[in-house]
Every structure is written in structure tokens, then in C-alpha cells.
């Protein structure tokens, strides 16, 4: 058998379920795949996804530090940026940047300080 890595699922720290849903579901267009709590009054841990991109969002102390920075390789970054701009999200309106390392990028910062860069290679 050989070693083969399948995927990475980042865990991002959140502090408000309502703000997380507003940002990840309403603004970025993710869907909630599942939610878990050990008991009703304990922190939430959930998975959101859009296409093949999956993220875990956690209220648990120790499940990541606020201010994480992740990069997402994708295609259609300009269309995605236009989709976000059309939503007139009150807190963020990202543009497109052409980077010296030959990528076209847009980025967002969630309400908890986590940064997500969406990147498409330019050949």
C-alpha cells in the first residue's frame, strides 16, 4: 500500500452560531451538512460545504485559534467574486487581485477573524 493524502478539512473557530450561519451560508453559499453538540447547552461543532470544499466550524475552546488563514484553490474565482458582490453583504465586499505568483484571487474575513483566500491559477 502507498501513502495517499485525500483532503484537508480546516477547523475554524467561531463565537456566534447566528453570525457563522449569516456569513458561511447566506453570504458564501455553503450548506450545513451536520451539526453536533455533546449536550444541548454545550458548544456547537458543525460541517459546512460548497461543492468539494468542506469546513468545520467549532465553538469549542482549543479547536483552532481565531485569525486562521486558509487558501482555497478553485476555478471560477471571478464568477464567485461577482456572486459575492451581488449580495451586498454589509461587512465585506472583496475584489479580485492578480498576484505575482500567477494566481487570480479574492478573499474574505469571517466575523471571527479567520481569513479565506480563494485562488485560481493563471497559466
What residue segments make up the domains of the chain, in order of their start? 11-121
* DSSP class of 116: E
CATH 3.10.180.10, applies to 11-121? yes
Which residue is listed with cell 453559499?
29
| pTM of the complete model | 0.93
Q: What residues contact residue 86 under an 8 Å CB cut-off, 6+ apart? A: none
- Measured torsion, CA atoms of residues 11, 16, 21, 27, in degrees rounded to the nearest 10: -90
Alpha-carbon gap, residue 69 to 116, rounded angstroms: 6
Under the banding of pLDDT at 50, 70 and 90, the label for residue 123 is confident
Q: What is the mean pLDDT of residues 42-60?
A: 97
pLDDT of 1 higher than 90: no
* Phi, psi torsion values for 36, nearest 5 degrees: -140, 135
Nearest to 30 by CA among 121, 110, 120: 110
Q: What is the pLDDT of residues 85-111, one digit of tens each?
A: 999 898 889 999 999 999 999 999 999
Amino acid at each position: 500500500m502507498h501513502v495517499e493524502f485525500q483532503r484537508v478539512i480546516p477547523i475554524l473557530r467561531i463565537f456566534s452560531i447566528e453570525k457563522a450561519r449569516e456569513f458561511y451560508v447566506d453570504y458564501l453559499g455553503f450548506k450545513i451538512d451536520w451539526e453536533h453538540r455533546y449536550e444541548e447547552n454545550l458548544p456547537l461543532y458543525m460541517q459546512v460545504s460548497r461543492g468539494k470544499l468542506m469546513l468545520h466550524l467549532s465553538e469549542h475552546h482549543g479547536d483552532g485559534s481565531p485569525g486562521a488563514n486558509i487558501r482555497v484553490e478553485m476555478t471560477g474565482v471571478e464568477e464567485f467574486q461577482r456572486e459575492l458582490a451581488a449580495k451586498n453583504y454589509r461587512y465585506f465586499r472583496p475584489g479580485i487581485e492578480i498576484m505575482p505568483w500567477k494566481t487570480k484571487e479574492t478573499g474574505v474575513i469571517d466575523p471571527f477573524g479567520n481569513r479565506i483566500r480563494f485562488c485560481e491559477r493563471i497559466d
